[in-house]
Amino acid sequence: MLKEIREELKEKTNKEKAEVLQRFFKTKKGEYGEGDVFLGITVPELRKIAKKNKNIGIMETLQFLRSKVHEERFIALLILIDKFSEKNEKIFNLYLKNLKWVNSWDLVDISAYRIIGEYLFDKEKTVIYNLAFSENLWEKRVAIMSTLYFIRKNHFKDTINIAEILVYDNHDLIQKAVGWMLREIGKRDIREEEKFLDKYYKKMPRTMLRYAIEKFPKDKRKYYLGKY
């Protein structure tokens, strides 16, 4: 089965787009995506391939997840998300054990809330707090992005707590993720978001602040930025 999927990916490879993606995802030496390999295949195409092959076995899926090719890891995560509805505890544990392969912001963002967030919603959440204190960029992003599921259920406490852990993080991919999740809270409860901002806006990274207040009225954005 994997051989057939790889043959299809090979047919859809676009070298020019792959070069663009290599730059966009910072794959040069010393950059956050160092060494990642792209085929240049669009997300809609990847979703079609994943849907068509959603019944492949878990071990085959994990082989894809451990691939050096970005698109193969993307497909593997889409398949794991599909399998999660039937075997949620098993998929949750496999996902955690293989987090080293969830090593790009798009891979984190499509999967963390759909697997970790959904599984932990009504359970003890020590896992994501431990990830938030990690030295690993992607584990920290998994921690905050997992809480998107909670936010969509109007549960904001854990997002706020993890945002406080990460509020002074110096990586822009964490700053953007935290700001984004604060903005998502604000869509549902603006007072909750403003309570956090009033406490931290003078010291939090500007990128984080800008993401958090992106949907605010102009005057309110000026207030927070002007006092920065």
Provide the domain count of the chain: 2
**pLDDT, tens only, 62-89:** 999 999 999 999 999 999 999 998 779 9
Residues 63 and 142: their CA atoms lie apart, in Å, by: 21
* pLDDT tier, 228 (very low <50, low <70, confident <90, very high otherwise): very low
The verdict on 225 and 117 lying in the same domain is yes
Final residue of a domain: which of 100, 118, 146? 100
The verdict on 48 and 116 lying in the same domain is no
Final residue of a domain: which of 85, 100, 115? 100
* Burial class, 162, CB count within 10 angstroms (exposed 0-12 / middle 13-18 / buried 19+): buried
pTM equals: 0.94
- DSSP letter at 104 equals S
The verdict on 68 and 33 lying in the same domain is yes
Final residue of a domain: which of 100, 128, 160? 100
C-alpha distances (whole Å) from 18 to each of 7, 15, 73, 123 are 17, 5, 15, 40
Q: What is the CATH number of the domain that holds 223?
A: 1.25.10.90
**pLDDT, tens only, 148-160:** 999 999 999 999 9
